[in-house]
Structure 1
Amino acid sequence: MMSFKTTTLLAATAVTLTAFSMPSMAADKVYRLKMAETWASNFPIFGEAPRNMAKMAEEMSGGRLKITIDSSNKHKAPLGIFDMVRSGQYDMGHSASYYWKGKVPNTLYFTTMPFGMITPEQYGWFYHGGGMELMEKVYQPFGLMSFPGGNTGNQMGGWFQKEINSLDDLQGLKMRIPGFAGEVLAKLGAKPTNIASGELYTALERNTIDALEWVGPSLDLRMGFHKIAPYYYTGWHEPATELQFLVNKRSFDRLPEDLQRILTTSMKLASYEMYVQSYHESGTNWVTMKSEYPNVQVKTFPKDVLAAMKKANQELLEEKAAADPLAKEILDSQAEYLKTARVWTNISDRAYLDSLETISE
C-alpha cells in the first residue's frame, strides 16, 4: 500500500505530466513489461519500491503501462538479474549495481563506496554531478539502462559473533559483505562472501559465516540477527546504499515517448519514497531494539582498525583507477564532487548537530 507521501507526490507529478501525455491517452494499446527483483516475495522496503513504481506508472499512464514483478521465489536467480534483463528474458530488474562487479567491474561504483558520499551527496552527484552520464557509459555497451532504485541511507557495519578489538580479529573472518567493502576486508585478511538475503540467517546461525552486514535497523530487526549475534557495529562501508532499476534498452525504446517519461519519473519517485521509508523504519526500529533487546552490544570499530580499512580502501581505489580509464573517470568524478558537497554537509548538517550537542550538555 502506498504511503501518504507517495500518493501526494503522484498527484503532483500527474499534473505536470498531463499536458505531455494527454495526446496519447486516447490510444488504447497497453504496454506490458516484466520485472525481476533480487528480493523474495513480500520483502519489506526493498520489495515495496518496485511495486510503488509499477503502481505509479500504471496510474499516471491511465492503465496503458502495466508492469508485473517476479520475485526471486519465482525466477530462482536473486543474483541473476543482470543477465536476465540483458538477454530480454525480463524487461526490467530491481537489484543493486555492485552485485555485478564480477561481470562488469565498473558497475561497482554506483551503489555506494566505503568512506564515501552520504545519501544527499550521492543523489547530488547522480543528478547534477555527472553520475547518471557515467552510469550510462558503463551500462550502454550491454544494452542496459540503469536508474537509482531507492536508498537505505547509512548502513550499519554488521553483526558479529565475536568482538573486533584489533586487526588480528579480522584474519580469516568469514563475513557476508558485498561490493568494494568486501575487497577492503579481503586485503586486511578477512574472507568476504556474498549470500542472498533469504539465506543470511541460516548461514550465520550454522556458523557458515562468522559475521554479516545487511542494512540497518530498518531491516535487520525483522531478519532476527540479534538472536544469534551479540555485537552490532556502526558503519563505514556503505554510507549511501543506492539500489537499482535496470532496464533493457530495447524494451524501453519500444515504449511511446510519453510512457518513457512516465516510467523514468515513476522510478525516480519510488526511489525517493524508499529512502524516506528506510530512514523512518531505521529510527523506529532502533528505539525498539534498544528497549526490547538490551543485550545487543552496539560497537564502533577501534580507531586503528578503521584507519587500516581506510588505508586499504585508498590503495584499492588507486589500483582500480590505474588499471582502467573509465574507473578512473568515475572515481575522480566522485572524489571531486565530494570535495564540494562535503564542505556544505559540514557547515550545515554537521555544524547544526554539533551545536545542539553544546547546549544539551
Structure 2
Amino acid sequence: MAKVDNKKTTGRISRRSMFQFAGTVAAGGLAAPAIARAQAPDVSWRMATSWPKNLPGPGVTAQRICDQIERLSGGRMRVKLLAAGELVPALGVFDAVSNGTVQVGHTASFFWQGKTPASVFFTAVPFGLLPSEHMTWIEQGGGQGLWDELYAPFGIKPVMAGNTGFQMGGWFKPEIGNLGDLQGLKIRMPGLGGEVMRRLGATPVSLPPGELYQALQSGVLDAAEFLGPWSDRAMGFQRATKNYYAPGFHEPNGTGEALFNIEALEALPEDLQAVVLEACRAENALSLTESEWENAGSLRLLQDEDGVVIRTYPDEVLNALRATSADVLAEFAEKGGIGARIYESYRSAQDRLGPWSEISLRQFLSARSG
C-alpha cells in the first residue's frame, strides 16, 4: 500500500471545503459527538471472569469495572467482558491472564491454591479478617506488596476489585447436629475452609460456580458454599434445600481480585494505568456496600418467601472448626518461604486490628441490640 503524503493531501483541501464541513457540523448539532463515538478506542482489552454473566455480586462487579474504565478514559479504552466459559473455563482465568490470552481477569484468589497455596489469604481464611480489616491489611499493613510478590513469577499484577462481604456457611441437604454428621459429607467449599472440612471427615469437591446448583440438586453434592444471600438466591440454591447455615467461618470476607497481565498493564500510558487501577479501587468499595444492602434484603426474601431455615453450626462443630483452622494456618509458618511471610503479616494484622474490632464493633452491636 502506498504511503499517504499528508502534506499533499492537506494542500488539496480548499478553504471553501473546510468552511462547508464546519457548517455541516454546526448545523447537525450532534454530528461531531457522533463521529467521536464512532471512532475506535486507542486500547481494546478483554476480561475473562470466573462468574456467570451479570451474576448478582461478582458478575455485576466485573461488568461495572469494564464500563467504568471506558467512562473514565473518555472512550479511549474499552474492555470486553467474557464470562465464565465464553473464552476460558471459570477456573482458567489465572492462566489466561498469565499467558496473555486476555489482558485482565476478574476472579477470586482462593481458586489458585493449587498453583500457589498462600493465594488463599487474599480472599479469606477461616476465622480471619473481616472485610474492613482485610482492606486495611492490604492497603496499610503490607498485604499488597506481598500479594504482588506472590503473583509476580506468573507475570500478574493483582488488586482488590470487589467485595461480597460476609459469607454464609452454606447450603446443606442434611442437618448438622454434631461432628459425626460431617463424615463423608460431599461439600463444595474452596480455599482453606475445604481443607478444614476434609480434616474433620467431609469430602471437599471442587466445582466452578456455574455448576453448583445442578450438582446440589442432583446429589453430586450434599452441601455447597458460595457467597451470601443475594448471590446465592440468584443461583437458585433455595430450590435444592432449605437448610442455610451460619456463620461463614471459612470466609469472613469476600474480596474479589482483578488480575492484570503485567506486560499489558505497563504498556498502557500512565493515565490509563491510573484509570484501570482506580476503577477497581472504586468498585471495591461500591460492591461492599451493595452486597451488604442486597444481602439484607435477600435474606428476608429467602426466609419469608422461599421457606429457607437459617441454622447455626452446633458449638461442638464450631469449636472443632476453629481448632482445626488454627492447625491448617500454622502449617504456612512451618513450610517457610513467602507463604510463611504472608501468614505472619496476616496474623500480625489480625493481632493489631482484632482488639479494636472487639471494642468498636462487638461491644457496640451488643449494646445496640440490648
Per the TM superposition, whether the score is higher than 0.5 is yes
Equivalent residue of 2:58, what SS? Answer: coil
Question: Aligned ranges for residues 148-297 of structure 1 at < 5 Å?
Answer: 148-234=160-246, 235-294=248-307, 296-297=308-309
Give structure 2 stretches of 5+ with no counterpart.
Answer: 1-39
Deviations 1:127-181 (A, max 9, x none): 0111101101100111100001211111000111111111111111100110010
Aligned: 1:119 with 2:122: no
Question: Aligned ranges for residues 39-58 of structure 1 at < 5 Å?
Answer: 39-58=51-70
Provide the identity percentage.
Answer: 35
CA contact (8 A) 1:232 1:297 kept: yes
Counterpart AA for 1:99: F
Distance 2:111 2:41 in 1: 36
Structure 1 residues 243, 29: CA separation in 2 closer, same or farther (over 3 Å shift)? closer
Distance 2:327 2:74 in 1: 52
Q: How many residues align?
A: 330
Equivalent residue of 1:229, what SS? Answer: coil
Distance 2:250 2:318 in 1: 10
What is the match of residue 104 of structure 2? Answer: 92
CA contact (8 A) 1:218 1:279 kept: no
Deviations 1:38-96 (A, max 9, x none): 11223222111122112222122111111111112411411100111100000000001
What is the match of residue 327 of structure 1? Answer: 339
Structure 1 residues 232, 29: CA separation in 2 closer, same or farther (over 3 Å shift)? closer
With normalisation by structure 2, the TM-score equals 0.87
Equivalent residue of 2:204, what SS? Answer: strand
Structure 1 residues 84, 76: CA separation in 2 closer, same or farther (over 3 Å shift)? closer
Equivalent residue of 1:149, what SS? Answer: strand
Counterpart AA for 2:162: G
From the CA coordinates, give the structure whose radius of gyration is larger.
Answer: 2
Give structure 1 stretches of 5+ with no counterpart.
Answer: 1-27
Counterpart AA for 1:157: G
What is the match of residue 7 of structure 1? Answer: none
Distance 2:235 2:118 in 1: 30
With normalisation by structure 1, the TM-score equals 0.89
Counterpart AA for 1:52: R
Question: Following TM superposition, by how much is the alpha carbon of 1:218 offset from its aligned partner in structure 2, in angstroms?
Answer: 1.2
Aligned: 1:300 with 2:312: yes
Structure 1 residues 357, 43: CA separation in 2 closer, same or farther (over 3 Å shift)? closer
Detail structure 1 runs of 4+ shifted over 6 Å in the superposition.
none
